[in-house]
Amino acid sequence: MVEIKTPEQIARMRAAGLVVAEIHRACAAAAVPGATTKDLDEIAAQVLADHGAKPNFLGYGGFPATICTSVNEVVVHGIPDRVTVLKSGDIISIDAGAIVDGWHGDAALTVLVGEGHPPEVAELSRVTEESLWAGIAAMRRGNRLVDISRAIEGHIRRQPLPPSGRYGIIESYGGHGIGSEMHMDPHLLNYVDRRRGRGPKLVPGMCLAIEPMVSLGTAKTHVLADEWTVKTNDGTWSAHWEHSVALTEEGPLVLTAPDGGRERLARLGVTAAPDPLA
Ligand code: MG
């Protein structure tokens, strides 16, 4: 049910992950006031072409673009276009993927566009990113899937509340297994649902895309008439951070982080696995 990868297969997923990291670097640098979301999509397509990698979002269930660009109250799955012009004070989640030799990478980051963000918006992105790393740090042998969910939720719940009075951990979307396909078993909730049990044991060879999505209000979302764009029901802004992570015999390797997660995991007392391509 859960695909277990060999070290050689994880090395190929690392190659895909590094292409995703390069897309993020290029798109984040271009996410400035005046840019359109289509500009970012074209940059992503060029990075894929430059690396001989294939897109995994384009055509997925009919998705019409290379990346998802989700601005402000859009949570995920925003479609890049030429009419959405970024302005100072916006936030944008850039969700990107790549296929190399048949193996997938998938990651997202939230960029604060320009300046002038209210403190709670910057804090929302910071808390969401930190919750991702808390989840990654829980991806270790002997733990269960639910331990990752608990680490993500626990980190968010320990934060001081924003002026809105709550953080909404988005309920209808979550992380997933990844490997020979982009979306595989198991589904990973970003909170603990006791009705679901503890989930599978985490063993070397498992690869997960971990992706908390958090709003400044509700946990509830709806899909627009374009059948893709997901917005919060109350219009509050949301942040989204994601990495693809492999559990190896030597610990977690963050496939879509340039340094394999070494620096961020060290801050949490976790040693990242050595990079098989370094
Ligand atoms: Mg994903």
- Tokens at residue 269, please? 């007392």
- Ligand 1 mean position to 209 CA, how many Å? 6
Per residue in 218-233, pLDDT (tens digit) is 999 999 999 999 999 9
- Ligand 1 mean position to 135 CA, how many Å? 14
- Ligand 1 mean position to 118 CA, how many Å? 28
- Ligand 1 mean position to 117 CA, how many Å? 26
CB atoms within 10 A of CB 71: 19
**DSSP H or E segment with residue 103:** strand 103-112
- Ligand 1 mean position to 239 CA, how many Å? 14
Q: Are the C-beta atoms of residues 125 and 110 closer than 8 Å to each other?
A: yes
- 7-267 has which CATH code? 3.90.230.10
In this prediction, the residues of the chain whose per-residue pLDDT falls under 70 are none
Torsion of CA 72, 189, 105, 214, to 10 degrees: 20
Hey, where are the domains in the chain? 7-267
Residue 134 is predicted with a pLDDT of: 98
Residue 156 is predicted with a pLDDT of: 98
- Ligand 1 mean position to 113 CA, how many Å? 22
How far apart CA 24 and CA 31 sit, in angstroms, is 10
Residue 118 is predicted with a pLDDT of: 96
Residue 1 is predicted with a pLDDT of: 83
- Tokens at residue 78, please? 């925003």
- Ligand 1 mean position to 246 CA, how many Å? 14
